[in-house]
């Protein structure tokens, strides 16, 4: 199953759930190394964590969850590791296709999908088609994704439209540029979480994260639990979000 049918009861909280949370799913390889296991075992464990966290986000009423699954730089990893990641993706896409209509779940992909196999591309197209039917909880999976690549792609598309006489350079504003990104129509993330102890954004949602709050933790992704997510949400609600203004 892509999503668990039953999950632990959501923890009680005195604050609302953020509308959109994004997660850099980091630490699978280190988790495996600590246990004397191959890196592929870490990715399998990390995929199970994704199930738990995605299910929990849905259950507590979150609107959007965006996860960083495979970056444009991850192709530098060994062929064995890349193949294992793509195999896991195929498995979960097949499960998703069976479950999305039943649970009214939306699943979208951000990234340049031209580099993945035709079989995987066809599966992502099928999930996109199913998603168009519903308006429920949405998971965005960043696959062969890079923030700089996304911005360059959007800039090229705007230049193409200008060259075709469809618009003029001076007409471009932030809202218009946002509509050229993979995340068009989706609100920017409120909170971005990075497990594993690394304190950097690694080319993730560079445009969309302009006013996001960040939460870093030393917990490796396979060990990340709903309780850890609640810690991040609680920390988020202690932040003073002024968006460049002054709170009166």
Tens digit of each residue's pLDDT (9 = 90 or more) over 136-156: 899 999 999 999 999 999 999
Interaxial angle between packed helices 39-59 and 79-103, expressed in degrees from 0 to 180 and rounded to the nearest 10: 20
Q: Burial level of 122, CB count in 10 A (0-12/13-18/19+)?
A: exposed
Helices and strands (H and E) in the chain: how many: 7, 6
Decide if 77 is inside a domain: yes
Q: Look up residue 48 and give its DSSP letter.
A: H
173 within domain boundaries = no
For residue 223, the SS3 value is helix
Domain holding 104, by residue range, is: 20-148+188-237
Asked if residue 232 is part of any domain, the answer here is yes
The tens digit of pLDDT for each residue in 56-112 reads 999 999 999 999 999 999 999 999 999 999 999 998 888 888 778 777 889 999 999
Instruction: Tell me the pLDDT tens digit for each residue of 163-220.
Output: 999 999 999 999 999 999 999 999 999 999 999 999 999 999 999 999 999 999 999 9
Which of 44-48, 96-100, 115-119, 121-125 is predicted least confidently?
96-100
Q: What is the CATH number of the domain that holds 80?
A: 3.40.1180.10
Q: Which of 28, 59, 74, 140 is catalytic?
A: 74
The confidence band for 113, taking pLDDT boundaries of 50, 70 and 90, is very high
The answer to the question of residue 162 being in a domain is no
Indicate the pTM of the whole model: 0.90
Residue 166 lies in a domain: no
183 assigned to some structural domain: no
Q: Which of 26, 28, 140, 144 is catalytic?
A: 26
Domain count, the chain: 1
74 given a catalytic annotation: yes
How confident is the model at residue 1, as a pLDDT? 43
Q: Give Cα separations from 93 to 1, 136, 150 (angstroms).
A: 10, 18, 23
- State yes or no: pLDDT of 4 exceeds 60: no
In a domain, 219, yes or no: yes
């Amino acid at each position: 199953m892509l999503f668990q049918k039953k999950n632990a009861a959501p923890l009680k909280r005195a604050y609302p759930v953020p509308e959109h949370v994004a997660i850099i799913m980091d630490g699978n390889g280190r988790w495996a190394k600590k246990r004397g296991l191959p890196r592929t075992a870490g990715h399998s464990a990390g995929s199970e964590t994704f199930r738990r966290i995605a299910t929990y986000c849905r259950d507590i009423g979150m609107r959007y969850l965006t996860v960083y699954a495979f970056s444009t730089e991850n192709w530098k990893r060994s062929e064995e590791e890349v193949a294992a990641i793509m195999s896991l993706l195929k498995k979960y896409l097949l499960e998703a296709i069976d479950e999305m209509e039943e649970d009214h779940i939306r699943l979208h992909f951000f990234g340049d999908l031209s580099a993945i196999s035709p079989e995987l591309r066809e599966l992502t197209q099928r999930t996109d088609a199913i998603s168009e039917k519903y308006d429920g909880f949405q998971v965005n999976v960043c696959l062969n994704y890079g923030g700089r690549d996304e911005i360059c792609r959007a800039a090229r598309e705007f230049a193409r439209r200008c060259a075709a006489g469809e618009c003029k350079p001076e007409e471009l504003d932030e809202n218009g540029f946002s509509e050229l990104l993979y995340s068009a129509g989706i609100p920017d993330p409120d909170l971005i979480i990075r497990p594993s102890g690394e304190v950097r954004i690694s080319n993730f949602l560079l445009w969309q994260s302009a006013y996001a709050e960040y939460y870093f933790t030393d917990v490796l992704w396979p060990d990340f639990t709903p309780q850890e997510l609640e810690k991040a949400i609680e920390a988020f609600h202690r932040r003073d979000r002024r968006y460049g203004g002054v709170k009166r």
